[in-house]
Amino acid sequence: MMMQKVKPHGLEKLNLEPSLEPSLEPSLDSDFFSQEILNKIKTDISQAWPESLNLNDRDIDNDFLVREIKKLLKIKDAVLISHYYVDPALQALSEQTEGLVGDSLQMAKFGKSHAAKNLIICGVRFMGETAKILSPEKNVFVPTLKAECSLDLSCPSDLFKKFKAANPDRTAVVYVNTSAEIKALADWCVTSSNALQIIQYLSDQGEKLIFGPDKYLGAYLKKETRADMLLWQGFCVVHEEFKSAGLRSLKQAYPEAAILVHPESPEDVLEMANCVGSTAKLLEASKKLDNPVFIVATENGIFYKMQQASPHKKFISAPTGGRGATCRSCAHCPWMGMNNLKNLYECLLAIPDNSSNFNTLEALTQPYEIKIPEEIIQKAALSLNRMIHFSQ
Ligand code: 13P
Ligand code: SF4
């Protein structure tokens, strides 16, 4: 059976045709942010797209994989934790096996509190790393270690270290969409669920901040809290693409619609929102608000849970590039899309059980297991646990 790729919604009505061609513009506002970083992101996206679209796996028997994955989760003492952006087939499996579908904060908390020996994280690599840092005693696996995030890629630790060293009087706050090394350099970690409250708290304490990597989330936090913040110039390739002009036209076509926007989006798109928030907050808003139609500026994997919770409401993807324009993501994260039933099944097969030959274990689990040096785990746990305790 062929895997279904989720298509961007709403564009038909506006006659906007997305292209998948990457077209990164340089954005050199920071001394530490370079063309080299942009080139790295561009190369990684080009490699992620074919795997994300499952071009080579059209003959896979999904029903077989679903049955086997359910059995293997039990045999291997594993729990499946999925982000809202992954393939609906994976989200459904998490639901059916008493795992979790959640935002990045919910995923982190669930993994830490769950009794299973093996955590399987369907999302992107930083989500697996976060789970490992919070639960170093557990084994953490991901269906593919190649699932990156443009925010993580846009913030190399050697350059962020220089940014921090150039501002020794400032507290370093980093978004959870970063590597373990960046978290180890930070004083605080935040997710989109708790960033406003944490930045407000720090600002009220009189602290001056550096924030990275997302320049849009950073600008939004700065505007809302009036905190004294210097911003790294990273961006999410999915959310940066939402366009206010297209959104205005779509709102005219659907005047009854509420607009839901993730804070990684540009300021002019955020200004049009009825609700700005993390994926969990946007899902809640889609349940609570009475509007019959929702225009959603975030990754379109979220439509699975939105539509499930409100089957009679209509959900439309906010427009990205227009005709003739280029669109890097088209409301689809190429790295989230690299998670699929096949690599999840292969990942579970590689996890040892009691009958395994221990000499071959490392080689088998290597493509899936999150490994982080002990000293990085210890340092990164400080900023992450500070956030977890703040959010309890
Ligand atoms: P959430 O914190 O809302 O899950 O967002 C994570 C993410 O990667 C958004 O692009
Ligand atoms: Fe990273 Fe954006 Fe993908 Fe989220 S949607 S994982 S921020 S690239």
CA distances from 44 to 40, 278, 325, 370 (A): 6, 25, 21, 19
CA distance 134 to 139: 11
Instruction: Name every residue whose Cβ is closer than 8 Å to that of residue 329 and which is 6 or more positions away in sequence.
Output: 237, 238, 241, 320
Is the distance from the beta carbon of residue 154 to the nearest atom of ligand 2 less than 6 Å?
no
Query: Looking at residue 25, what is its pLDDT?
Result: 44
DSSP state letter for 369: B
Would you place residue 215 in the very low, low, confident or very high pLDDT band (cuts 50, 70, 90)? very high
For 165-214, how does the pLDDT look when each residue is reduced to its tens digit (9 = 90+)? Answer: 999 999 999 999 999 999 999 999 999 999 999 999 999 999 999 999 99
CA distance 231 to 120: 33
Query: Looking at residue 30, what is its pLDDT?
Result: 54
**Cβ–Cβ under 8 Å, residues 294 and 313:** yes
Would you place residue 352 in the very low, low, confident or very high pLDDT band (cuts 50, 70, 90)? confident
**Cβ–Cβ under 8 Å, residues 1 and 62:** yes
Query: Looking at residue 329, what is its pLDDT?
Result: 55
Residue 9: enclosing H or E segment and its boundaries? none
Which ligand lies nearest to the CA atom of residue 387 in the structure? Answer: 1
**Cβ–Cβ under 8 Å, residues 98 and 122:** no
- Protein residue with its CA nearest to atom 3 in ligand 2: 333
Is the distance from the beta carbon of residue 152 to the nearest atom of ligand 1 less than 6 Å?
no
**Cβ–Cβ under 8 Å, residues 209 and 218:** no
Question: Measured in angstroms, how far is the CA atom of residue 261 from the centroid of ligand 1?
Answer: 12
For 107-163, how does the pLDDT look when each residue is reduced to its tens digit (9 = 90+)? Answer: 999 999 999 999 999 999 999 999 999 999 999 999 999 999 999 999 999 999 999
Question: Measured in angstroms, how far is the CA atom of residue 192 from the centroid of ligand 1?
Answer: 7
Query: Looking at residue 341, what is its pLDDT?
Result: 95
Query: Looking at residue 33, what is its pLDDT?
Result: 72
> What is the average pLDDT across 87-104?
97
Three-state DSSP at 118 gives strand
Query: Looking at residue 40, what is its pLDDT?
Result: 86
Beta strand 314-317 with 275-276 is unpaired
DSSP state letter for 354: T
Single-letter residue type at 384: L
Single-letter residue type at 46: S
CA distance 2 to 8: 19
- Protein residue with its CA nearest to atom 2 in ligand 2: 236
Is the distance from the beta carbon of residue 151 to the nearest atom of ligand 2 less than 6 Å?
yes
- Protein residue with its CA nearest to atom 4 in ligand 1: 103
Would you place residue 13 in the very low, low, confident or very high pLDDT band (cuts 50, 70, 90)? very low
Is the distance from the beta carbon of residue 106 to the nearest atom of ligand 1 less than 6 Å?
no
Size of the chain in residues = 392
The token pair that represents 98 in the structure block: 């008493």
CA distance 182 to 61: 40
Name the residue with higher pLDDT: 54 or 273.
273
State the closest ligand 2 atom to the C-alpha of 149, by its place in the atom list counted from 1.
Answer: 1
Query: Looking at residue 115, what is its pLDDT?
Result: 95
Nearest CA to 186 out of 157, 207, 217, 166 is that of 157
Query: Looking at residue 11, what is its pLDDT?
Result: 35
- Whether residue 383 has pLDDT greater than 50: yes
Question: Measured in angstroms, how far is the CA atom of residue 131 from the centroid of ligand 2?
Answer: 17
Three-state DSSP at 384 gives helix
The token pair that represents 229 in the structure block: 């913040």
Would you place residue 355 in the very low, low, confident or very high pLDDT band (cuts 50, 70, 90)? low
Would you place residue 359 in the very low, low, confident or very high pLDDT band (cuts 50, 70, 90)? low
For 296-351, how does the pLDDT look when each residue is reduced to its tens digit (9 = 90+)? Answer: 999 999 999 999 999 999 999 999 875 445 555 578 999 999 999 999 999 999 99
Question: Measured in angstroms, how far is the CA atom of residue 49 from the centroid of ligand 2?
Answer: 14
Is the distance from the beta carbon of residue 177 to the nearest atom of ligand 2 less than 6 Å?
yes
**Cβ–Cβ under 8 Å, residues 314 and 294:** yes
Instruction: Name every residue whose Cβ is closer than 8 Å to that of residue 168 and which is 6 or more positions away in sequence.
Output: none
Query: Looking at residue 56, what is its pLDDT?
Result: 54
Which region, left, alpha or beta, applies to residue 145 given φ > 0 means left and ψ of -120 to 50 means alpha?
alpha
Would you place residue 354 in the very low, low, confident or very high pLDDT band (cuts 50, 70, 90)? low
Is the distance from the beta carbon of residue 103 to the nearest atom of ligand 1 less than 6 Å?
yes
Which ligand lies nearest to the CA atom of residue 193 in the structure? Answer: 1
Would you place residue 58 in the very low, low, confident or very high pLDDT band (cuts 50, 70, 90)? low
Would you place residue 392 in the very low, low, confident or very high pLDDT band (cuts 50, 70, 90)? confident
Tell me what the pLDDT averaged over the chain comes to.
88
**Cβ–Cβ under 8 Å, residues 223 and 24:** no
Question: Measured in angstroms, how far is the CA atom of residue 236 from the centroid of ligand 2?
Answer: 5
> What is the average pLDDT across 204-231?
97
CA distance 81 to 172: 29
Query: Looking at residue 356, what is its pLDDT?
Result: 58
pTM: 0.89
Is the distance from the beta carbon of residue 299 to the nearest atom of ligand 2 less than 6 Å?
yes
State the closest ligand 2 atom to the C-alpha of 333, by its place in the atom list counted from 1.
Answer: 3
**Cβ–Cβ under 8 Å, residues 250 and 13:** yes
CA distance 2 to 244: 35
- Whether residue 48 has pLDDT greater than 50: yes
For 248-297, how does the pLDDT look when each residue is reduced to its tens digit (9 = 90+)? Answer: 999 999 999 999 999 999 999 999 999 999 999 999 999 999 999 999 99
Query: Looking at residue 12, what is its pLDDT?
Result: 37
